[in-house]
Structure 1
Amino acid sequence: MAIDDTLVGEICHIKGARLGSARYDPAQSAVERHHRDNLVLMCPTHHTVIDDDEASYSVERLLQIKRDHEANATTVPEEDVSRIAISLEQNISTVGQTGGLSAHTVHAANITVQAPGSSSNLLNQRQIQAVENLWQILRKFSAEFSMVVFVDTILLQEEMNAHFSGARDLPLMDSILEYRNPQTAIAKMTKAGGEEAAAERPFVSQRLWSIFFVIQAVYGRTGLLLTNSFKEERYVDWRSDSGCDQLLRAALPSHAVEHLKALQISGIRTALDYLEDQFLTEAGMRKVQQI
């Protein structure tokens, strides 16, 4: 949608792009959500109208509007497409490095305009798939290391230390006995798919990859610290571990890290929540949040 050499259209999601947006469907995958079948081009005015009146503009109605529009559309001459692309070339930035097309104004500040025959759509879909793959790996890490997070959520540091030193028997700690084995944390990281994640690195931003790396490393290191606790017969607290400190500060602001260390319980869970929010924000799935 262009007036002379200026693109004025807005790409709208038929089913909303994120939780809380109009017509959001939690059952959609990231690929489906940002696929062209779920997108419709609108002028800025109608984009606002349809999102403010979800009752009138249902998914079914928007799909019909899209079908009617495409049926009545006329082919744009290739020279016009190329002319617009060339006029914007100096101000273009690649769209959706990690999150696909968002429903924002289509102009040179946020979208790459390509002449016919470009492979950008295929690349964009691969980028979306990479984000989804990394997120699924993080879900597996969460499952594999769930008991590490659980005991940190339930027990205080002094209770943990009393158990590891033999001063107090806590039956709850039986849930982490497998960490007596030095290979447990490494085996869990491998099972979660940590090695396969490297295949997705070329398709995501450096920032997104760094956040992913920090999250998986936090899981692995806190698991290894429990192994050391069994070995040393004292609780090796992640709060005083320089490795955990460096990892967290690589992705979170200093004041957030200090806040996490001050928590008596649930520090690991809260840290992971912060990091996952950063991951989703970088992927374009959430608005930027201040920590």
Structure 2
Amino acid sequence: MLAPAQRPATTVNEEALHHYRSIWISDVHLGTAGCQADYLLDFLKQNDSDHLYLVGDIIDGWALRRAWYWNQQHNDVIQKILRKARKGTRVVYIAGNHDEVVRQFIGLAFGGIDIQDEVVHTTADGRRFLVLHGDLFDGVIQCARWLAIVGDHAYTLTLKLNRGFNHLRARLGLGYWSLSQFLKHKVKKAVNFVSQFEEAVAREAKARGLDGVICGHIHKAEMRDIDGVLYCNDGDWVESLTALVETMEGELKIVTWQQLGHADGRSGARPSPVPAVEDSPA
């Protein structure tokens, strides 16, 4: 693994609402109509960090091979990330299954962005976390790739229905609501899969003697203790619109970015933080 290049101190964006020590985002799926690039762009504009981890499935290569979809907002997200890297944020791109082509560049850096398969992040309070996308712990991806692709098509159809439904909600002045998340929580097999995935990833971190794990892949933001390991999933920017953040003191939180527009009239989105896990490992 190549050591990250030396970077200047991070330049704080005066327009940002928050400056965090670290931010993790994953499962953006740029290149698909379901990507909520406008929400993510608002989040990136108004939140700065010393470290920015892109935890896989940032660009959806599976979808782009089927049909090309790329609008200006998708391009703006990429440009914003590159700008953060130029201004001193340490940006690490961790490959996922939808952007697996990136894995051929592991150990290299492009535009100030380090390409890795996984990394270990040390928080300000000294805890060590394994950071990886998580697809290697998904039996469907590893053993039945064709089934994963079929499921991806079904998921895309659900997102199309979801977009129409949310257009109607927006016209009624209601916030974003995820049909696919609702279905996942209601289907017993899906719930069991999520639980098995979380436990498998946590076991890997424990086997390596680490305090926790940070991943994506299953589009379900979560933070909980699993057998003495702090499991953190940063969610996604298709359904849940969530990120994991680390404060300057080392506290980890999930923030949800669900509403465009500020009460004070400034453009952007207001974060609605989910409470951090109180009993963090020593």
TM normalised by structure 2 equals 0.23
TM normalised by structure 1 equals 0.23
Structure of greater Rg: 1
Query: Between Structure 1 and Structure 2, which shows a larger proportion of strand residues?
Result: 2
Query: Between Structure 1 and Structure 2, which shows a larger proportion of helix residues?
Result: 1
